[in-house]
């Protein structure tokens, strides 16, 4: 899509007003009417089509912009399908339940906030979903914080920080897959590259929560014990369930393509399932498509383990296709190029390009409140700029996550901000000062850009 040539050259005023209208439509729909982003994006697509037709652009050319935009996301779509299958197979085999069970074993009353941060990070990486982590483990930890009579905003900040670290660094995460696919970077290469900024921020955050943690000698750990007992009752907690993880990381080390790696790990998980449970072939196919259904009778456990499957990715897939189609139209009608031309003279240095892309991702989160659009539109707008200054695409995908993925929960009217507030009972503005991982990630990525550290430049073929 980024190679799409514009068919017209709009005036700056036209481009600005169109973008302002689109941002306003999506923002009002999300914030005031609590709508899913799909409909306002579709309305924005219709607005762009009408604008193109009024500017004497043929419908065939307008349609080609839609198709080219959507086509840019097809690799991500197939990855999302395999992620859905992987999640359901990892739950069915006991891989994810075993990881969560192991994470709870390190919870002790001492250094409560630091431990909350670490455990939610482990669970977030296991399930690949920050919101699922917040809605399950996060709620349990808020209950513990209430019993301990410690700061709920700090506890919520630790939960959010850990959940979004896990979401960001998990190969199961849809945002992680989306960011890498937008720039054409290998999924696991993207994750490794994010480590340069993410790991330092992780340890800084861990140290801060360690200092903030109160000295506690006794605590009612009933909620955690209930979780562990519930997980044991599933009959899924076994040492051999880590084999799919070994397969995943082993193939990653040999640089096997992400899609094949996910498929191999899913297949190994399905085979391991038969060590402790027997499913018919039809049931396996049903779980792979519709997801795993947990029926332990413990609400929190069932909420955590009832997920996955290809069907669970349809919301994300449809949103990605719609947003990319809108992006294709924005490029086809020359709107993005027109806006970037105004600031292009300022984007001739590596540091300024990185800073501008980070600020764009943050701004979209603030203006629209939508995580996926922050990643999609930033990637579409700045890929050419990164190429011009000689930066490899994985630098952009890292910035898109450092300043896009983790910033969304800090915005009170964002999808994540609203959800987290409802789940934890702590307002976004209350936990915002303590969501250290989310606050520090964009700062460090911009700082490294100015210092020229941890950047990868394009290789020039001889």
Burial of 58 (0-12, 13-18, 19+ CB in 10 A): exposed
Annotated domain spans of the chain: 73-315+342-462
Ordered DSSP codes for 357-380: HHHHHHHHHHHH--HHHHHHHHHH
pLDDT number for residue 462 = 38
| Confidence grade of residue 432 (pLDDT, cut at 50, 70, 90) | very high
**How many Cβ atoms are within 10 Å of 331's Cβ, its own excluded?**
23
| Highest-pLDDT range among 27-31, 88-92, 419-423 | 88-92
Q: What are the distances in angstroms from CA 267 to CA 130, 235, 245, 285?
A: 25, 20, 12, 12
Residues near 152 by beta carbon (within 8 Å), at least 6 away in sequence: 142, 145, 146, 424, 425, 426, 430
Helix (H) or strand (E) holding 85: helix 74-93
Contact (Cβ atoms closer than 8 angstroms) between residue 399 and residue 357: yes
Provide the sign of the torsion angle of the four alpha carbons 202, 205, 210, 214, taken in this order: negative
Alpha-carbon distance of 111 to 86, in angstroms, equals 34
Cα 5 from chain centroid (whole Å): 30
199-243 per-position pLDDT tens digit: 999 999 999 999 988 765 455 556 667 778 888 888 899 999 999
Indicate the pTM of the whole model: 0.72
Nearest to 417 by CA among 343, 366, 380: 366
| % of the chain at pLDDT higher than 90 | 33
> Which of 189-203, 330-344, 403-417 shows the lowest mean pLDDT across its residues?
330-344
Q: What are the distances in angstroms from CA 221 to CA 109, 112, 147?
A: 9, 12, 9
Terminal C-alpha separation, the chain: 27
3-state DSSP assignment of residue 391? strand
Whether the per-residue pLDDT at 363 is higher than 60: the answer is: yes
């Amino acid at each position: 899509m980024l190679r799409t040539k514009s068919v017209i050259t709009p005036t700056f005023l036209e481009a600005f007003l169109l973008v302002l209208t689109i941002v306003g439509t999506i923002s009002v729909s999300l914030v005031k009417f609590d709508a899913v982003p799909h409909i306002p994006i579709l309305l924005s697509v219709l607005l762009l089509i009408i604008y193109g037709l009024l500017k004497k652009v043929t419908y065939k050319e307008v349609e080609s912009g839609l198709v080219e935009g959507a086509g840019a996301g097809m690799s991500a779509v197939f990855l999302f399908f395999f992620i859905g299958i992987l999640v359901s197979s990892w739950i069915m085999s006991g891989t994810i339940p075993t990881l969560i069970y192991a994470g709870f074993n390190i919870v002790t009353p001492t250094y409560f906030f630091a431990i909350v941060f670490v455990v939610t990070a482990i669970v977030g990486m296991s399930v690949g979903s920050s919101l699922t982590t917040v809605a399950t483990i996060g709620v349990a930890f808020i209950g513990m914080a209430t019993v301990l009579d410690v700061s709920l905003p700090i506890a919520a900040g630790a939960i959010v920080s850990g959940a979004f670290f896990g979401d960001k660094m998990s190969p199961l995460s849809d945002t992680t897959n989306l960011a890498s696919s937008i720039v054409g970077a290998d999924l696991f290469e993207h994750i490794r590259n994010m480590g340069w900024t993410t790991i330092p921020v992780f340890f800084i955050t861990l140290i801060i929560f360690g200092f903030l943690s109160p000295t506690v000698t006794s605590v009612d750990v009933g909620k955690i014990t209930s979780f562990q007992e519930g997980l044991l009752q599933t009959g899924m907690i076994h040492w051999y369930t880590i084999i799919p993880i070994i397969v995943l990381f082993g193939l990653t080390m040999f640089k096997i393509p992400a899609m094949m790696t996910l498929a191999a790990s899913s297949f190994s998980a399905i085979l391991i399932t038969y060590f402790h449970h027997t499913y018919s072939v039809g049931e396996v196919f049903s779980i792979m498509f519709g997801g795993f259904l947990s029926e332990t009778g413990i609400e929190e456990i069932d909420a955590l383990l009832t997920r996955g499957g290809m069907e669970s990715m349809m919301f994300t897939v449809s949103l990605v296709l719609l947003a990319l189609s809108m992006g294709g139209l924005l490029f086809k009608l020359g709107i993005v190029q027109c806006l970037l031309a105004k600031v292009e003279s300022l984007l001739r240095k590596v540091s300024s390009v990185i800073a501008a892309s980070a600020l764009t991702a943050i701004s979209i989160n603030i203006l629209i409140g939508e995580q996926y659009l922050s990643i999609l539109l930033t990637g579409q707008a700045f890929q050419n700029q990164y190429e011009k200054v000689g930066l490899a695409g994985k630098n952009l995908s890292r910035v898109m996550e450092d300043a896009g993925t983790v910033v969304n929960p800090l915005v009170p009217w964002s999808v994540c901000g609203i959800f987290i507030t409802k789940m934890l009972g702590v307002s976004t503005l209350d936990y915002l000062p303590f969501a250290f991982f989310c606050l520090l990630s964009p700062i460090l990525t911009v700082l490294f850009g100015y210092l020229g550290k941890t950047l990868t430049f394009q290789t020039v073929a001889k």
